[in-house]
Structure 1
């Protein structure tokens, strides 16, 4: 971490490692953003650099725990799994598993019982849904009775 701090301190004020033009192009890919100032682009670029620096320093700590100097994918995956600010990256940097484990996990997901899922739902919402169902059934019965009455009148 000290080496990274030295590198950050040695950086010239107002400069970034990432090219601003490329970051600006990435930002403009968002259809909601039509214009972005140079200052805003700089801030986003610098924030991205700090984010990556933090992610890599945490991964380096994981590598050092295993007495290595090189950071591997598994170190990044452990950081994403263990460090709360990086949890949103679980889909992007998942932990690796064997093919057999992946197949077993997929089977478990596919074989989950639907009643177990219903237990997790909100009981108030379930009650409201039941009331709506009852109202719909009553309306259908009323319509059916009206149709029967109309048919009897037509027969007479």
Structure 2
């Protein structure tokens, strides 16, 4: 865990706000045997919310002590082409967006989504709107991004 002035996340001696919770300050970091893997973060919280942290962390809590949050697959979709009008290009195949589909197989979600069924739609905070995919099973739900919260095209489609 390294800190910098441009980093808005949790780092030693730095405070962040837990979304819908309290500001916390990292007081210590416990590393694993490889001295790189973080195994535990010790923090103190500000119950009076007097701290004005720079960043906000969105987090998924345990549904109950010792129970992991719901593990789901999330599929993020972006535009197929990098420019707005690939037909104007000589090499339109070279304009394909290699990140037009990103699959996150081990995402976490709040446990209230466990009974979601095909056709159900949800807003995932700060990302966009997602729908339950037909590939979902009782063992693992799959959510597809349907609408982002912002347009990623810049002026001129570049």
Alignment TM-score > 0.5, same fold: no
Structure exhibiting the larger radius of gyration computed from Cα positions: 1
Q: If the TM-score is normalised by the length of the shorter chain, which range does it land in?
A: under 0.3
Higher strand share: 2
TM-score after normalising by structure 2: 0.20
TM-score after normalising by structure 1: 0.20
Greater relative contact order (CA < 8 Å, ≥ 6 in sequence): 2
